[in-house]
Amino acid sequence: MNILVVDDESDMETLFQQRFRKEIRDKRIDFFFANSGEQALFYLESHVHEAVLILSDINMPGISGLQLLKMIKQKYENPPPVVMMITAYGDDENYKQAMQLGADDFLTKPIDFTLLKDKLNARINGKDSGS
């Protein structure tokens, strides 16, 4: 499965690669990284046919995570990619907005990688079992 991580912190890439090194080694997950909403949209343009799960930060310069979420859900309707929001601002308002815009999940920073792994595994397995 392809997972696109969108975060303006570039070290997120190293962190994810290390945290998920087993999954990467086992070729269960392929990670792609975008440092901004704009980069994420650009990536999606060229990988539109690949099954993609998106993990996006909300608070980024330029296109914010919520705007990105809205655009993705509007543009890619069939089937809409799974978008999970990961943010340092875990307040109600942010959560409600994300859910309204169709977020599939909402996680707060610091990322609980055990929880994230479980959720991702569930998605992968669910998808596997579904197909």
Q: Does 42 bind other proteins (CB under 8 A)?
A: no
Residue among 61 and 79 whose Cβ is closer to other proteins = 61
User: Phi and psi at residue 78, in whole multiples of 5°?
Assistant: -130, 100
What is the CB neighbour count within 10 angstroms for residue 63? Answer: 18
Tokens 């690669």 appear where?
Answer: 17
In this structure, the strands spanning 30-34 and 82-87 are unpaired
Residue among 111 and 124 whose Cβ is closer to other proteins = 111
Q: Does 18 bind other proteins (CB under 8 A)?
A: yes
Q: Does 88 bind other proteins (CB under 8 A)?
A: yes
Q: Does 19 bind other proteins (CB under 8 A)?
A: yes
Q: Residue 98's closest CA among 79, 70, 76? A: 70
Residue among 19 and 123 whose Cβ is closer to other proteins = 19
Q: Does 113 bind other proteins (CB under 8 A)?
A: yes
User: Assign residue 127 a region: left if phi > 0, alpha if psi is -120 to 50, beta otherwise?
Assistant: alpha
Q: Does 110 bind other proteins (CB under 8 A)?
A: yes
Residue among 114 and 131 whose Cβ is closer to other proteins = 114
